[in-house]
Amino acid sequence: MAQRITAEEAAALIQDNMTLGVGGFGAYAAPDELLSALAERYERLGSPRALTAVCGISPGSNRPDGRGLARLRAPGLLDTVMAGHFANPPEIAELIGTNQVAAYALPLGVMLHLWRAIAGHKPAVLTHVGLGTFADPRVEGCKANQKTRAQGRDIVELVSLDGRDYLAYKTFPIDACFIRATWADEDGSLSMEDEGVGDYAAELAAATHNSGGIVIAQVRGIVSRGSLPPKSVRVHHPMVDYVVVNTDPALHMQSYAAQLRPELSGQLRRPTDSIPPMPLDNRKLIARRGALELRPDCLINLGIGIPSGVGVVANEEGIAQRITLSLESGPQGGVPVEGAGFGSAVNAEAIYTVADTLELYDGGMLDLSFLGAAEVDCHGNVNVSKFGSRCTGPGGFVNISQNTKRVFFTGTFTAGGLKEEVRDGRLVILQEGRSKKFRRQVEQITFSGDYAVKSGQDVTFLTERAVLKLTPDGLMLTEIAPGVELEQDILAQMEFRPLISPELREMDHRIFQASPMGLTL
């Protein structure tokens, strides 16, 4: 039976040099009361020091507001971060980028499957995920900075089985974890009714418990023993050591975008005609071009930012009911939330656990994926995870991009000050971006074009002014926007010259009209 304690008492259980698992998924489900108490204890006593924080998607806001894992930013508190993604909070990304904290960036699915393997006392996770990318030990071996490389620790090895290459990611013990739930019963069983994403609290709790560690849960409140429906119990009380009841609602928000939106947690449904349409800007042009690729009954993953607009356009066009959108955070179906609330969906049909979702992705369940692309090179390699000293980690990007049948990378053609408008059905470039995104060489390989070609993937790059396909001979330009000059607006804005299709054509003119495109499926 779990013991009820205060957040301050929970913080006192964390000792120097521990490996601490931290739940939460970006803006969602952060155990902020526990993290706040731990930070306050460190400020007061100088202990615990030199912690290794282990996260899936590290909890935090996309602004430097000190929430989530950023509460542990004080010098000396953290030594190492192991996570699928740590751009949010930006304070932690800065510590990693300035070499103050070591960091291992793992594909999100690998991290969650590691937790399951830790719980099962298995030595490693054996998978193809990450081959040819920064995670491959022949490239960077998941090491995010020089401080990490100086540790001399290798967390992934290349192995061969039946003549094929795989990566073996090594398991490790977890000494304690902070997780969050909606309710705990008097025994300590946990439910997640108010959470807007599929959780991985069960995986983290199991890994910690079976490592001989301490499992501490932050909850909204306590309910009577036996009052939680058995199917709603996500973490059973034998795995939970301590329960902390939230005392400040600001430290127990559904997400950093809202205290509670019940249409995100499946507790009610919201009319989708209340979702506003996108303005006709370059983001919408890209989303519309992506929407032209939709097919009836296809299962689609949408990344954050521009890719999520494909779902909004599908809703505008009245075809959202003919497709199923899937987010790696668990929601299946519905309309993905944009902005600070990204990761959840309005009116989801189902909410899987994150680990189950990514396992299905690894096996090729997705028909289409629309993902972002910060840098692309002539080989079709894509970088979304490292920019100068700023290292963000890949999130679920590697699991998704390596294993989807048809992958569409989306983004504006250039970046940094780019100004464009649509005028009379044509794209007008008012001010070119300062930074080229099609580079001779990407800074980090988050997606391997060579691996994709060998795997037979169908890979396309969608921008507001051009469409390119990945071929065995490199990138091929296949479409350009009406109003765009080939040499000046496309080729001169690339650091390499792509192949040009002998059937080069203009992008569909409906993309550039003010009214809906009239899509049917």
Rounded to whole angstroms, the Cα distance separating 379 from 440 reads 9
Rounded to whole angstroms, the Cα distance separating 67 from 36 reads 8
The neighbour count for residue 128, using CB atoms within 10 Å, is 15
| Straight-line distance from the first to the last Cα atom of the chain, in angstroms, rounded to the nearest whole number | 53
The interaxial angle of helices 309-316 and 282-291, nearest 10 deg, is: 70
Rounded to whole angstroms, the Cα distance separating 301 from 324 reads 9
Query: And the tokens for 141?
Result: 């071996």
The four Cα atoms 242, 248, 253, 258 give a dihedral, to 10 degrees, of 170
Q: How far is CA 68 from CA 58, 90, 92, 252, 340, in A?
A: 8, 10, 10, 11, 14
Respond yes or no: is residue 43 known to be catalytic.
Answer: no
Which of 472, 449, 469 is CA-nearest to residue 460?
A: 469
User: Do the Cβ atoms of 41 and 66 come closer than 8 Å?
Assistant: no
Rounded to whole angstroms, the Cα distance separating 482 from 466 reads 10
Question: What are the start-end ranges of the H helices in 55-154?
Answer: 90-97, 108-119, 146-150
**Residues forming a β-bridge with 214:** 176
Query: And the tokens for 90?
Result: 């930006």
Residue 443: HSE in the Cβ half-sphere, 13 Å Cα cutoff:
15
Mind giving me the DSSP string for 383-426?
Answer: E-SEETTEE---TTHHHHHHH-SEEEEE--SEESS-EEEEETTE
**Residue 308, Cα to own-chain centre: how many angstroms?**
12
The neighbour count for residue 210, using CB atoms within 10 Å, is 16
Rounded to whole angstroms, the Cα distance separating 487 from 493 reads 9
Catalytic, out of 91, 328, 338, 375: 328
Query: And the tokens for 116?
Result: 């399951």
The interaxial angle of helices 108-119 and 201-209, nearest 10 deg, is: 40
**Residue partners of 219: CB distance under 8 A and separation at least 6:** 180, 181, 182, 183, 184, 190, 243, 244, 245, 246
Q: In a 3-state reduction of DSSP, which class is residue 39?
A: helix
Question: What are the start-end ranges of the H helices in 233-308?
Answer: 282-291
Residues with active-site annotation:
328
